[in-house]
Each structure stands twice: as C-alpha cells, then as structure tokens.
C-alpha cells in the first residue's frame, strides 16, 4: 500500500507542469502575430462550394431580392461626407489580411465588423491598417482613423 505522504509530490509536480504549459500556450497565443506573408485560406465557401464551380454572388443577390449592382452604381450616390460622419472607429483588431474593426454607426455602441463584411447601408469593410480602416460602397471609399492615443500624465521633477 502506498502512503498518503508519497502521493502528493507527483500530483503537485503534475499540476505545476500543467499550469506552466497552459500559461505558455496562452502567452504565445496572445502575442503571436499574423505576418503579411502568411496566406490565409479562403473559408467563405464562395469557390468550390458547388462541386468545384464558382458561385456568382451577384446572381444569388438578385435571386434574394437585392438591387442590381449596375443600377446602384449609376444612381447618384449620397454625399459621402454625410455618410462618413455616421461612422466612428473605436478599434482595430488583427491585421491587414485577417481581422476586424469596432465601428459605431449613428451614435450606437460599437460592434465588431470582420474584413469583407457589410457595416450598414451597403458600406463594406475593405481594408484594415494599424490605426485606420477603409469602408467602401459602389466605388466610393471612406477612411476612418482612430484618434491619437491619450498622453499619459507625467510628473516632471523641478530642480530645487
């Protein structure tokens, strides 16, 4: 029979190693970056979803009742500056090829929008940069930029 005192050291060692492994995975998971050279696979299902055939997204949109993109492009677009005032960029998550942005629309709370997703009224998140994003609608583009970071309060020593 094994004594109770000899059971605890292996248990504690196993717990310590498990915690170290979990913390290491968490650290590297939070600090890992997607480099610009990394190829992100297309998982949207637009290519190859129908037995190797590409899906015509414009035809699907028309079948579901969307306005014809050619007609929308020829229609006079609303004032872009008025639309730009509707959007406020609150944050950028990720990088150029895989990420999302926190965008507030019309004074409502900010919501996450993935790259390529629609924001509102046909505006789509086209590009992500470190402190800015570009939205597009029918050829028109709006760039939203984060405000500069707030300066931390500093106490300067004065000479006596």
Query: Residue 97 belongs to a domain with what CATH number?
Result: 2.30.30.830
More confident residue, 65 or 16: 16
Q: What is the pTM of this model?
A: 0.45
Number of domains present in the structure of the chain: 1
Highest mean pLDDT, choosing among 9-18, 79-88, 98-107, 129-138: 9-18
Query: Which residue range(s) make up the domain with 138?
Result: 76-145
Is 99 within the bounds of a domain? yes
Is 118 within the bounds of a domain? yes
The torsion angles phi and psi of 155, rounded to 5 degrees, stand at -110, 115
Is 42 within the bounds of a domain? no
Is 159 within the bounds of a domain? no
CA 126 vs. chain centroid, Å, equals 11
- Return the bridge partners of 105, or none: 87
More confident residue, 56 or 109: 109
């Amino acid at each position: 029979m094994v004594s109770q005192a000899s059971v605890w050291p292996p248990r504690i060692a196993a717990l310590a190693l498990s915690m170290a492994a979990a913390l290491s995975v968490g650290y590297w998971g939070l600090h890992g970056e997607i480099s610009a050279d990394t190829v992100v696979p297309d998982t949207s299902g637009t290519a190859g979803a129908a037995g190797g055939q590409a899906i015509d997204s414009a035809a699907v949109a028309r079948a579901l009742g969307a306005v014809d993109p050619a007609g929308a492009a020829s229609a006079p677009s609303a004032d872009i500056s008025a639309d730009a005032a509707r959007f406020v960029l609150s944050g950028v998550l990720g990088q150029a090829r895989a990420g999302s942005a926190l965008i507030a629309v019309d004074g409502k709370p900010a919501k996450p929008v993935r790259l390529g997703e629609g924001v509102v009224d046909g505006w789509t998140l086209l590009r992500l940069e470190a402190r800015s994003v570009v939205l597009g609608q029918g050829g028109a583009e709006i760039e939203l930029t984060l405000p500069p970071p707030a300066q931390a309060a500093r106490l300067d020593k004065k000479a006596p």
